[in-house]
Amino acid sequence: MATGYFITGTDTDVGKTWATIALMRHLQNRGKSVVGMKPVAAGCAMQDGQLKNEDALLIQENASVPVDYDLINPYAYELPVSPHIAGVNNPADLAQLLVQFECLKKLADTVVVEGAGGWYSPLNEREANSDLAIALALPVILVVAIRLGCINHARLTYQAIVQSGVNCAGWIAMCTDSGMLSRGENIAAIKIAVDAPLLGVLPYRGIADFDFFSEQLKL
């Protein structure tokens, strides 16, 4: 089993955090100690005197061991915009993120890293999430939001991951549209088009049920 995974998505707001927590719990249920990391987060609010992100707090809460917030989310930006814009005065430093990741590796068997936005979403003015994934050298798990247009988005993102030279460990179907027509047929089409295993289908839920989600995964 890999010592970590990098979670990316077909877009922003596709359910990456829910998939990340589900994966963390799935691995914990298999006897692994797990910590998570959300290196860069935009749309943060002040809590206890510092900017914090709700998704990063959820990742912190679900870790197997206590982890300082700053280690989980080194770059927390207030504005809910692309990190290269939100962090113009404090841009994410790729080398520093690698240092933080190495610290997390010492705390648990597995580190699950959630990227910001999609595969090519900017981290700063020069580098994208893809550059971070390549530098971390972790297997990538693609979260596909099952909604209108998902086949195209899944194929394009998977192609980009493969062209980047990293290993795609599989993909997760995140059902984000409760009223989507032909949901199963869309998932079946992606299974044919994407040459990586389907790790699980997470049914639509208005409120996250991470224990249920974790049971749907196969890794």
A 10 A CB-CB count for 135 gives 14
Q: Which residues contact 166 (CB under 8 A, 6 or more apart)?
A: 6, 133, 134, 137, 138, 139, 140
Q: Is the per-residue pLDDT at 38 higher than 70?
A: yes
* Bridge partner residues of 195 (DSSP): none
pLDDT value for 155: 98
pLDDT value for 219: 87
C-beta separation of 33 from 45 below 8 A: no
Q: Which helix (H) or strand (E) holds 171?
A: strand 168-174
Instruction: Read off the pLDDT of each residue in 25-45 and give the average, rounded to a whole number.
Output: 97
The model's pLDDT over 129-186, given as tens digits with 9 standing for 90+, comes to: 999 999 999 999 999 999 999 999 999 999 999 999 999 999 999 999 999 999 999 9
pLDDT value for 208: 93
Average pLDDT over the chain reads 96
Residue 66 Cα to chain centre, angstroms: 20
pLDDT value for 2: 62
Residue 139 Cα to chain centre, angstroms: 12
Q: Is the per-residue pLDDT at 10 higher than 90?
A: yes
The pTM score is 0.96
Report residue 1's pLDDT band, with 50, 70 and 90 as the boundaries: low
Supply 191's token pair. Answer: 């299974």
Query: Which residue ranges form the domains of the chain, and what is each CATH number?
Result: 4-215 (3.40.50.300)
pLDDT value for 61: 97
Q: Is the per-residue pLDDT at 113 higher than 90?
A: yes
Catalytic residues: 38
DSSP line for 14-67: SSHHHHHHHHHHHHHHTT--EEEE--EEES-EEETTEEE-HHHHHHHHT-SS--
pLDDT value for 28: 97
* Bridge partner residues of 144 (DSSP): 173
A 10 A CB-CB count for 169 gives 17
Using alpha carbons, select from 161, 192, 159, 212 the residue that is nearest to residue 29. 212
